[in-house]
Structure 1
């Protein structure tokens, strides 16, 4: 039996969703690709142990830990314009694109831990307990980070994009 039995199939099936999650964590396509590649490399090294469990959760956890590690090492600050993106009349597709860009810009302004909590809770649809397990912290920490992140998003986003969830 080869050590990568099922790994290629897993990557082919899971990459689109994992790539979107990586992009939401980083806010940059190239960094998202690097983050996902790094997490998949880690998963491959442990594939025999991971494959029978939940390999997608393992990759998500690896991405979140790697993102936090990158952030700690680099401490990069992003300079985003305070100007809202122009809304050019072009139908729902244009408005949806503007909304996505605005949301990604707002997510990029959150600290990495808060961004990770928002992505895990509301994009990956994990429970508070699952999110805590992925991030290696207490459920109370997840609740606090979600609360603070949602409060910050409410100040960053225009009225039509305000989060309607409560943490």
Structure 2
């Protein structure tokens, strides 16, 4: 299974970021990725020739939803994100923290759609394929998520751009 090991070495950084954006927690993201990798490893011979990364992203998403359903942590809203000076070198860090807080307020499906569409830069059709839903469902979740992000943290989204980065 050298090809699996090569795939993991090559794609782990991107998949780790993907898992982190879904969970908002580094340790949980590592656990999530490891769990998904173990699942994909069992099916590697069947998956490797098709689209292993899409299969793995779907496994990460489904595992995350499964964990989320078991935990059911109550949602809590925080105040507006902290204001930072424009020349402050910590502005990027504050923006990342604000984004993480705002993403944490979204439902798991909305969060997955935002991550796939705007962070992983997948098309609506590709995101729908990864999540195993219809394109219309992806559009609806993206619309609802962006509306909520505009309400919670208006500074994150520049309406002239496509991405909430």
Specify if TM > 0.5: yes
The answer (yes or no) to whether the contact 2:80–2:152 under 8 Å persists in 1 is no
Corresponding residue of 1:146: 142
Work out which of the residue numbers 36, 41, 61 in structure 1 matches 2:38: 41
**CA distances 1:83-108 after superposition (whole Å, capped 9, x unpaired):** 533536763x4111110110011001
Shift of 1:144: 0.5
Corresponding residue of 1:123: 119
After superposition, where does 1:71-90 map in structure 2 within 5 Å? 71-79=68-76, 81-82=78-79, 84-85=81-82, 87=84
Q: Which runs of 5+ in 2 are unaligned?
A: none
Q: Which runs of 5+ in 1 are unaligned?
A: none
The reply to whether residue 29 of structure 1 matches residue 58 of structure 2 is no
The reply to whether residue 135 of structure 1 matches residue 159 of structure 2 is no
Shift of 1:47: 0.8
Show structure 1 runs of 4+ deviating over 4 A.
Answer: none
The answer (yes or no) to whether the contact 1:64–1:135 under 8 Å persists in 2 is yes
Q: CA RMSD in A?
A: 1.9
Corresponding residue of 2:57: 60
Secondary structure at the aligned position of 1:84 is classed as: coil
Secondary structure at the aligned position of 1:6 is classed as: helix
**CA distances 1:56-104 after superposition (whole Å, capped 9, x unpaired):** 111111011111111112111244532533536763x411111011001
In structure 1, distance between residues paired with 2:158 and 2:54: 25
In structure 2, distance between residues paired with 1:74 and 1:62: 18
The answer (yes or no) to whether the contact 2:110–2:142 under 8 Å persists in 1 is yes
Q: Provide TM-score, normalisation by structure 1.
A: 0.88
In structure 2, distance between residues paired with 1:80 and 1:149: 15
In structure 2, distance between residues paired with 1:121 and 1:156: 20
Question: CA 1:114/1:163 → structure 2, altered by over 3 Å: closer, same or farther?
Answer: farther
Q: Give the total of aligned pairs.
A: 161
After superposition, where does 1:89-108 map in structure 2 within 5 Å? 91=88, 93-108=89-104
